[in-house]
């Protein structure tokens, strides 16, 4: 076949110098193809430093923000289009690389999804590169490059391993799987590989701008006769082999078993790109209460929280050091069967000013499904379709809260507050190995691993994280131990499932281990508004550093985030917050802020920040609150569609329009509370000193000229005191933004998607 790009394609050997594979004969080249390899440039993306790049329009980010005040500036996202799962973050040659699922010409999920690509030298200042992967017409990923990972092989070669999909309705779909391996989904999943395109010296491009795919999958089909509901999202890790003599590669695969629930499959190999052998289930559920399909599985051995964070004293020994080091104090996580008490006492609503109030009332639906988002498994939507698209996608075009009672996830997960009259319940989902297999954790050494430290704290070493069913559901994790001999996650004594994030926007996280041994996680932060005039949808979270502290997971912003602080620091101390009064953060301005403060309770039942809204007719003020009585962190959203704060002065605190998200935290009674609130236009990430995080979206509208930040300290049920507070304006992570014309993003192939409505392929 004629090569469309003769100067760069692997097919044109006459202009290509010795490659990474040395002097192999042409026919035995491992990535030699019978048809042209996909080249980004063949799809309209200019080569770096080409004349095409010089012709691009360079657009100042501030100009785009003047058009949309809700668009984040210090969260990774494409300049336009849809984004979902972060893929394959890794550190290579002095650079952080972050890939992500991306729809270029639309703001809703669709087939034909590509791998966007951004690169950074310091973890916080990023540069866009051309997409790393795009669908190959007629290939195994003709209708989408779904999620996966990127890792260096034993020789230091960066390798992308991902799930490619092709629709059965595609005329060029190719042969169907064998009947015993066919999952009977509307599309066929294959596990594929890509490596960096070498330069003319045979070395990998240091920026990894262009990638070359293998013609053959490293796994063509799932194991036979397993009644799986999906088979995607590979995640690679290294571990000491079963004999303990040398390292092996392990690979997790997201899946589920029809009628039983979610599952994580595990494969093993001595070589990264070949020789993979199915080794059973890492773990599986025997109930759908934790989801029918477990997407984007992660497994990592996390470091212990450093000693400098092991006391409340270290938290308060100098506020400047606190702000530079984030939050690192230790407290006990709630144990299995933790029962957060629901509020029963009457609470007065807080008046932010004479015309604005925030009600504080018992939760109605803690994590409501948003109208227009995909329904949970088996839930039929208004258009007759059911379930979310695969790969963590959804179609974000709604903003009204809806009942989630039809979700397969248990009410304990969907409503983390619990019920004040409920008896203690078991937190761990009932999970087990496949029938006929040896139960993990039976040897004396394994028992010692899972029980060491009892009487004080469990000594967990690993975190297992899954994304169940749909982006409307919370990401779940377990703390426990991985058994390298049985290649199982030891569930006997594991703590979970628990919510990775207490908010309503994070889904499908991914992580890397950097050169310092830190485990850094990103997640997809979804929109929570209808598709409208804006030309983007979604972003990624800030990088989080993950630790294990006894029997709890501790998350904190990467210290590099502090590099985004701009200008002088606003400081204050000993701020008294009175009931039914708001205390503005005078002198703090701007839509992108980093606010850090410590709270003392006084007589209040709850206290925190009020974010005032300038968006008349939309969702009103938002309060970020810690409730001492219930030990709960939450965001309370006032109002909703049709509520005009200019005329509404008597809000019902129990009104159904009031939305709230949050959950229980691990703060001990009497322990100092420190809170870090990172505001990036509509993105809100809240980190507690006890290690929990809440992420959500707050659409406040256009900030009036010469206005302050519209942020106040507030208290309910009594008085509270802010011991110390600091705030900074935050700069953009982008030096500049390349805005390409739509023609340069044009694809030569239009994926066939008419047969696949918005809905999951899971068939339970």
- Whether the Cβ atoms of residue 524 and residue 540 lie closer than 8 Å to each other: yes
C-alpha span between 577 and 727 (Å, rounded): 18
Contacts of residue 25, defined as CB under 8 A and 6 or more positions apart, other chains included, come to none
Which residues are paired to 262 by β-bridges?
256
Cα–Cα nearest to 191, from 229, 218, 227:
218
C-alpha span between 331 and 310 (Å, rounded): 8
* Concatenated DSSP letters of 565-593: EEEEEEEEEEEEE-TT--EE-TT---SEE
Considering just the CA atoms, what is the radius of gyration of the chain in Å? 26
List Cα–Cα distances, 340 to 25, 430, 664, 666, in angstroms. 66, 22, 7, 11
C-alpha span between 39 and 130 (Å, rounded): 11
Cα–Cα nearest to 474, from 503, 510, 511, 495:
503
Q: For residue 411, what is the enclosing H or E element?
A: helix 411-414
Active-site amino acid positions: 85
C-alpha span between 166 and 189 (Å, rounded): 7
List Cα–Cα distances, 692 to 135, 650, 738, in angstroms. 38, 34, 36
List Cα–Cα distances, 297 to 260, 283, 315, in angstroms. 18, 11, 33
Total Cβ atoms within 10 A of residue 134:
28
- Whether the Cβ atoms of residue 160 and residue 146 lie closer than 8 Å to each other: no
C-alpha span between 81 and 622 (Å, rounded): 27
| Chain centre to alpha carbon of residue 725 | 29
C-alpha span between 350 and 580 (Å, rounded): 5
- Whether the Cβ atoms of residue 363 and residue 417 lie closer than 8 Å to each other: yes
Across the beta sheet with 693-697, the strand order is 565-577, 720-730, 592-600, 673-680, 683-688, 693-697
- Whether the Cβ atoms of residue 477 and residue 283 lie closer than 8 Å to each other: no
578: tokens are 């009175």
Three-state SS letters, 323-387: HHCCCCCCCCCCCCCCCCCCCCCCCCCEEEECCEEECCCCCCCCCCEECCCCCCCCCECCCCCEC
Which residues are paired to 721 by β-bridges?
576, 600
Q: How many CA atoms does the CB half-sphere of 154 hold within 13 Å?
A: 11
The 8-class DSSP code of residue 638 comes to: -
391 phi-psi bin (left φ>0, alpha ψ -120 to 50, beta other): left
Cα–Cα nearest to 269, from 297, 296, 249:
249
């Amino acid at each position: 076949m004629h090569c469309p790009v003769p100067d760069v394609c692997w097919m044109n050997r006459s202009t290509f110098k010795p490659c990474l594979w040395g002097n192999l004969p042409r026919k035995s080249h491992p990535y030699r193809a019978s048809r042209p390899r996909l080249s980004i440039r063949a799809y309209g993306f200019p080569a770096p430093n080409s004349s095409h790049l010089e012709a691009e329009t360079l657009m100042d980010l501030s100009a785009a923000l003047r058009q949309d005040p809700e668009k984040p500036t210090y969260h990774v996202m494409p300049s336009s289009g849809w984004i979902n799962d972060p893929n394959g973050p890794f550190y290579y040659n002095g650079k952080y690389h972050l890939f992500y699922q991306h729809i270029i010409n639309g703001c809703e999920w669709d087939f034909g999804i590509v791998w966007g690509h951004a690169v950074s030298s310091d973890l916080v200042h990023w540069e866009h590169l051309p997409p790393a992967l795009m669908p190959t017409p007629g290939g195994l990923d003709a209708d989408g490059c779904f999620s996966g990972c990127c890792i260096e092989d034993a020789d230091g070669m960066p390798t992308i391993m991902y799930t490619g999909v092709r629709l059965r309705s595609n005329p060029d779909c190719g042969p169907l799987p064998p009947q015993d391996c066919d999952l009977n989904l509307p599309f066929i999943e294959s596990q594929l590989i890509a490596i960096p395109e070498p330069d003319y010296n045979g070395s990998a491009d240091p920026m990894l701008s262009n990638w070359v795919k293998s013609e053959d999958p490293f796994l063509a089909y799932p194991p036979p006769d397993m009644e799986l509901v999906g088979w995607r999202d590979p995640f690679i890790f290294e571990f000491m082999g079963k004999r303990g003599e040398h390292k092996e590669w392990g690979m997790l695969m997201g899946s589920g078993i029809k009628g039983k629930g979610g599952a994580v499959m595990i494969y093993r190999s001595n070589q990264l790109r070949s020789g993979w052998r199915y080794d059973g289930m890492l773990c599986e559920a025997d109930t759908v209460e934790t989801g029918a399909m477990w997407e984007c599985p992660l497994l990592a051995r996390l470091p212990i929280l450093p000693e400098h964070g092991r006391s409340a004293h270290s938290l308060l020994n100098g506020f400047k050091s606190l702000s530079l080091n984030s939050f690192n104090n230790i407290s006990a996580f709630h144990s299995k069967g933790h029962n957060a008490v629901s509020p029963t006492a009457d609470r007065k609503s807080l008046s932010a000013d004479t015309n604005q109030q925030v009600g504080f009332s018992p939760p109605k639906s803690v994590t409501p499904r948003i109208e227009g988002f995909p329904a949970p498994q088996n839930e039929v939507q208004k258009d007759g379709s059911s379930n979310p698209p695969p790969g963590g996608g959804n179609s974000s075009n709604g903003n009204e809260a809806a009942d989630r009672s039809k979700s397969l996830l248990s009410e304990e997960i969907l409503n983390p507050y619990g019920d004040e009259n409920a008896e203690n319940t078991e937190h761990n989902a009932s999970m087990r190995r496949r029938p006929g297999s040896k139960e993990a954790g039976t040897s004396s050494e394994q028992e010692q691993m899972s029980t060491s430290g009892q009487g004080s704290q469990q000594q967990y070493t690993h975190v297992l994280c899954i994304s169940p069913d749909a982006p409307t559901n919370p990401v779940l994790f377990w703390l426990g131990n991985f058994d390298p001999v049985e290649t199982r996650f030891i569930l006997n004594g594991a703590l979970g499932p628990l919510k990775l994030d207490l908010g309503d926007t994070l889904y499908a996280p991914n992580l890397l281990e950097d050169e310092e041994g830190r485990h850094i996680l990103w997640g997809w932060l979804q929109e929570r508004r209808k598709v409208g005039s804006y030309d983007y949808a979604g972003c990624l979270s800030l990088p989080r550093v993950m630790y294990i502290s006894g029997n709890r997971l501790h998350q904190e912003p990467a210290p590099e985030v502090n590099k985004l602080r701009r200008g002088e620091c606003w400081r204050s101390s000993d701020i008294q917050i009175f009931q039914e009064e708001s205390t503005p953060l005078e002198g703090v301005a701007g839509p992108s802020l980093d606010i850090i403060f410590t709270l003392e309770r006084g007589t209040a039942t709850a206290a925190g920040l009020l974010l005032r809204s300038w968006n008349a007719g939309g969702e009103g003020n938002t309060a970020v609150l810690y409730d001492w009585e219930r030990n709960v962190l939450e965001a309370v959203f006032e109002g909703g569609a049709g509520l005009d704060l200019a005329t509404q002065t008597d809000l019902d605190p129990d009104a159904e329009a009031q939305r709230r998200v949050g959950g229980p935290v691990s703060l001990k009674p009497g322990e100092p509370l420190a809170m870090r609130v990172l505001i990036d236009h509509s993105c809100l990430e809240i980190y507690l000193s006890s290690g929990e995080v809440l992420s959500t979206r707050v659409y406040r509208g256009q900030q009036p000229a010469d206005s302050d930040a519209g942020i106040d300290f507030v208290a309910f049920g009594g008085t509270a005191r802010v011991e110390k507070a600091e705030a900074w304006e935050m700069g953009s992570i982008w030096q500049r933004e390349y805005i390409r014309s739509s023609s340069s993003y044009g694809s030569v192939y239009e994926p066939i998607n008419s047969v696949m409505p918005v809905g999951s392929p899971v068939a339970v």
